[in-house]
Homo-oligomer: A and B are copies of this chain.
Amino acid sequence: MSVKFEKNVLGRLVPNLVNGKIQIPFQGVGKHLPKGNKYGAPIVSCADFPADGNKIVPNLQEALLKAGLRNGAVISTHHHFRNGDLLAVQIFDIAHSLGFKDLVWFPSASFECHQPLINYLEDGTIHHIEGSMNGSLGRFASEGKMKGMGVLRSHGGRHQAIQDGEIVIDIAVIAAPTADAFGNATGDRGSAACGLLGFALADSQYATKVIVATDNIVPFPCVPWQIQGNNVDFVVVLDQIGIPEKIVSGTTEITKSPDRLLLAEMTAQFCDEAGIIHDGFSFQAGAGGTALSIGVYFAEMLRKRGMNARFARGGSNKYLVKMLEEGLLDYILDGQTFDLEGVRSMRENKGHVNTSPFTSYNYHGKGNFASMLDVVVLGATEVDLNFNANVVTHSDGILLHGVGGWQNCLFAKCTILPIPLFRDRIPVIRDEVTTICGPGELIDVIVTERGIAINPMRTDLLDKLKYSNLPIKTMQQLKEEVDAICGVPEKPMFTNNPIAVVKWVDGTVIDTVWEVDNTEK
Interface residues of A (CB under 8 A from B): 30-53, 55, 163-165, 182-183, 210, 219-221, 223-224, 228-233, 280, 310-311, 331, 333, 350-351, 353, 358-359, 362-369, 371-372, 411, 413, 506
Contact = CB atoms under 8 A, between A and B. Distances in A.
Given A220-B310, A310-B220, A372-B52, A363 B40 contact: no
Q: Quick one: copies of this chain in the complex? A: 2
A221 B44 contact: no
B362 A230 contact: yes
Contact of A310 (B219, B366, B367): B219
B40 A182 contact: no
B44 A365 contact: yes
B41 A38 contact: yes
B46 A367 contact: yes
Given A34-B43, A43-B36, A230-B362, A53 B367 contact: yes
Contacts of A229: 366-367
A300 B107 CA distance: 51
B45 A363 contact: yes
B183 A311 contact: no
A40 B43 contact: no
Given A228-B359, A280-B219, A43 B51 contact: no
A232 B32 CA distance: 21
Contacts of A368: 46, 230
Given A37-B41, A43-B364, A46-B365, 8 more contacts: A45-B506, A46-B363, A46-B411, A53-B371, A53-B372, A182-B367, A210-B366, A228-B359
Contacts of A182: 367, 372
A314 B363 CA distance: 37
Nearest to A365: B230
A47 B30 contact: yes
Contacts of A280: 219
A51 B371 contact: yes
A353 B220 CA distance: 13
A46, A228, A230, A364: residue with the most chain B Cβ atoms closer than 10 Å: A46
A284 to B, nearest CB: 14
A448 to B, nearest CB: 27
